[in-house]
Structure 1
Amino acid sequence: MSTIATKLKQAVLAFFVERQLYIRARGSVGYVPLSSRSQIALAVFFLAFAGWFSYATINVIFKDEIAARKDREFREMQLAYENELRRLQLAYDDLNSQIVLTRDWFSETTNSLEKKHNELSRVLEQNASISNELRQMQMAFSGVAKRNNKKGNVDIIGRAENTANVTLESRTESGDAPAPKVALANEIKSSIRRLDADELAMPYLPENIHRRIANLDTRQRDLLDALEESLDHKIDEFEAVIDQTDVLTTEEFMARVLPESELSVGGPYIPLQGQPGLNSSLHQQLYRISTNLDRLSGLSKSLTKIPLALPIHDYSITSDFGVRLDPFKKRAAFHSGVDFGATTGTPVHSTLGGTVTQAGYKGPYGLVIEIDHGNGFKTRYGHLARSRVRTGQRVEFQQHIGDAGNSGRSTGPHLHYEIWFDGKVRNPAAFLDAGKQIFNIAETYSATPKQ
């Protein structure tokens, strides 16, 4: 490197050797010495001046074109800048729209979940009320169940209610531990609060929010499906009990025994189409469940108006309803009731609450008690040894009204039991068989008399 610099320096000095500039004036000659440095300085000056002069000349000659080119470049830069601003503004507007849509979606979703939760809570409260009615009905019949309690026998009301409670259990996402329906309702409410308080404020959708909402909706559907299935099953059982008595159809009997306030409906016909939220499958299912709960309540109240219980609890069937061989004349004759063989003094119970219309002797019946239960039902208890009620007295379900005996036209101590409906005698076997489904009587009723 130093060699090249040295050679370059030598070349420059060789070109700009020291010179003398001679000047002649007024007959005399003089000179001005020009050193190498002076020559180099003058050369640099003249080159710079030539460059500036050339640049100035070009600018003067081509100034319009140069100005126009610079103006074009400026406008292009300005246009590019404005385009970038517009692009950024559009991106901002799009992002802001996404934020607004996300917030609206969260708001709509949480409102929908809260509405579902409120409707579910209403249905569950209605179901709890009906379950309480069934529980009270069961408690009223508990005396029958206790007196006839043997291994393997559970009354149908308790079984149906337990089935409902088990069926209405839901499982966690892992499927390991059951969560009761109340816990699920609380979880729904808690999830709504979390969505509203935490995630609704976020300007984006969390990755798992759709899955969480879908899982919540699925569990709500499972809860409603289980409840609807349980209600359908219980309604079928209760309707079968009423139909088995063969007195009236279920609808006719309910219309007779239930107050008009529980059956009266009305209003204009308005199709569901076009009604916001009313045509959804969820709303229709909730409507079906609510209707079934009302029907189940009506059925349970109707069953309490039918004499389904046994009048005596330590017995053997000695004679059935219908045609039989008369024990005295030994000829075929009609038997208007069922005979329960029992020892003298065995307690006899009212099979339904009502008013005693007769408590005294009545021809071949001997000492008899007749009770009017209302709604067309009457029961008769004959051949008693003792009456523990009087005419006009109000008696309750399963009240001890008398003792079995051998009075009247009788071959031995027993209870003669009759059921009348709308002035016609009915086969008690149909009522007792239907009653077994409600009370699950341990002693299996047999239509064939024991020998």
Structure 2
Amino acid sequence: MTGRFVHRINVALERYLPEQRLFLRSEQATRFVRISPLAQMVGFAGSAAMVAWAMIATALILMDGVGASSLRELAKREQALYQTWLDDVTAERDAYALEVRAAQDRFNVAMAEVSKMQSELLASEERRRELETGIGVIQSTLRKTLSERDRLRETAAELEARLDGATPETTDGLHRADMEATLAFLSDALNLAVTERETMAADASAAYELAEALAYEHELLRERNDRIFSSLEEALSVSIAPLDKMFRSAGLSTDDLIDKVRRGYSGTGGPLTAVAVSSKGNAEASAEELRAQAVLSRLDDINLYRIAAEKLPFAQPLRSAYRFTSPFGMRRHPTSGTYRMHEGVDFASGHGTPIYATADGIVEKAGWVSGYGRMIRIRHEFGLETRYAHLSSIRVKVGQRVSRGDRIGDMGNSGRSTGTHLHYEVRVDGKPVNPMTYIKAARNVF
């Protein structure tokens, strides 16, 4: 049955592929091999299949080479873009640091000016009080002199009337010479009183002019203080605004955060002391003193912001060029193939790339953890912790206190990992959150 079927195929193909004979000669005899149409078709099909396979394989190899070249070029472009961004961020950070230092210098100069002006203001207030006291004494003396002058005038008028109307019979022993002497004495006293009154009036006028000059000087000092305080308040607002925006972008309440830092750092002392209180004896502080205390309070807020920023993971764990390979959230597991929650972010770079702490804290774990490989867990304040996994080496110990920017390990491929990378996590009260929220929030500040 099979031979008949093969014969039919050969007959059908013989029209297109006639039977061929291959002769093989030797010294003893001549032999030939028949190549049937079916065998020819099988040979042609096999040859075509081999050629097609070779063409496909060559195309695949070429496509893979082109794709790898494109990936390398893309990686180089991404690395160049990242380096450019890193240079820009570094320049912005340096510029911000210069602005902060300049603002601090301006504040120190302004505080020195405020202290100097406050001393001058207190001295002018004391001089004004002394002048007011002197003017009061002069006015009292002048009123007393005017009263005495009026009394003397009345006495002189009475004596003149008695002298004019007196006769030898009615004088009762009063001698006219004595009365004239008394009248001359009263006239001299009256003239002296008038002279003293004019002198006191001139002194009072000079005192009023001096008081007006002191009041004008006081107004100039007040306007100068207002300009200085306005500059300080504006500089503080400009300094606090990016820090406040950074914390709010990370989803943090700045009021609660600053209160926690203030409770944890409640010691007093140092340069942040209140401006000297006026010696006028008043219980209430002046407007300038209240504004100075408000400026000092804002400076204290900046210091609290700085402490909070160092305690929270706003920094990046890598300073070298890297490739962002996996985000936070649900993803397909690279080894099992199932969809699982990825509780951190992955950064790929060269083997041994330095890993840095992103905030101040205490090392709670530094060793091998199933799945994580070599892993470091750091506990920070405010209920936060960070994890650094798949490391090739660990450079810290359990219980060690680290600061932001300290080198804690090297990138590797330990644990369940498909290649060299860093798995970085941030947890708040034990719950994982997206680390990029903190990193992106700090890009315009650090």
Superposition TM-score, scaled by structure 2 size: 0.52
Among 219, 224, 232, the alignment partner of 1:214 is 219
1:255 and 1:187 map into 2 onto residues whose CA distance is 34
Give the aligned partner of residue 248 of structure 2.
243
Among 235, 257, 263, the alignment partner of 1:259 is 263
Give the aligned partner of residue 291 of structure 2.
285
For residues 133-187 of structure 1, what are the alpha-carbon distances to aligned partners after superposition, in whole Å with 9 as ceiling and x for unaligned? xxxxxxxxxxxxxx96556322586255246358769xxxxxxxxxx42563475
For residues 69-98 of structure 1, what are the alpha-carbon distances to aligned partners after superposition, in whole Å with 9 as ceiling and x for unaligned? xxxxxxxxxxxxxxxxxxxxxxxxxxxxxx
- Show structure 2 runs of 5+ residues with no match: 1-84, 132-205, 269-280
Give the aligned partner of residue 231 of structure 2.
226
Q: Give the aligned length.
A: 272
Do structure 1's residue 359 and structure 2's residue 346 form an aligned pair? no
Q: In 2 relative to 1, CA 281–363 (structure 1 residues): closer, same or farther, beyond 3 Å?
A: same
For residues 368-412 of structure 1, what are the alpha-carbon distances to aligned partners after superposition, in whole Å with 9 as ceiling and x for unaligned? 111122331111101111111233333333221111011122222
Give the aligned partner of residue 427 of structure 2.
420
Structure 1 runs (4+) greater than 4 angstroms displaced:
147-151, 165-169, 189-202, 206-211, 329-332
For the residue of structure 2 that corresponds to 1:364, the secondary structure is coil
1:396 and 1:165 map into 2 onto residues whose CA distance is 24
2:412 and 2:386 map into 1 onto residues whose CA distance is 17
2:262 and 2:121 map into 1 onto residues whose CA distance is 41
2:438 and 2:432 map into 1 onto residues whose CA distance is 12
Among 83, 86, 92, the alignment partner of 1:153 is 92
Q: How far 1:218 moved relative to its partner?
A: 0.9
Moved more, 325-334 or 365-374: 325-334
1:209 and 1:237 map into 2 onto residues whose CA distance is 43
Q: Determine what percentage of the aligned residue pairs are the same residue.
A: 31
Q: Contact between 1:278 and 1:284, CA under 8 Å: does it hold in 2?
A: no
1:258 and 1:325 map into 2 onto residues whose CA distance is 44
For the residue of structure 1 that corresponds to 2:91, the secondary structure is coil
Q: How far 1:193 moved relative to its partner?
A: 8.8
Do structure 1's residue 309 and structure 2's residue 315 form an aligned pair? yes
Among 371, 374, 379, the alignment partner of 1:372 is 379
Q: In 2 relative to 1, CA 191–290 (structure 1 residues): closer, same or farther, beyond 3 Å?
A: closer
Among 347, 353, 369, the alignment partner of 1:346 is 353
**Root-mean-square deviation over aligned CA pairs:** 3.7
1:217 and 1:409 map into 2 onto residues whose CA distance is 70
Do structure 1's residue 383 and structure 2's residue 390 form an aligned pair? yes
Q: In 2 relative to 1, CA 324–279 (structure 1 residues): closer, same or farther, beyond 3 Å?
A: same
Q: Contact between 2:390 and 2:422, CA under 8 Å: does it hold in 1?
A: yes
2:284 and 2:102 map into 1 onto residues whose CA distance is 30
For residues 193-250 of structure 1, what are the alpha-carbon distances to aligned partners after superposition, in whole Å with 9 as ceiling and x for unaligned? 985899988744288655443222111011112222322333333222222222x422
Q: Contact between 1:341 and 1:415, CA under 8 Å: does it hold in 2?
A: yes
For residues 325-353 of structure 1, what are the alpha-carbon distances to aligned partners after superposition, in whole Å with 9 as ceiling and x for unaligned? 43335554322111111100111111223
Q: Contact between 1:155 and 1:437, CA under 8 Å: does it hold in 2?
A: no
Q: In 2 relative to 1, CA 221–260 (structure 1 residues): closer, same or farther, beyond 3 Å?
A: same
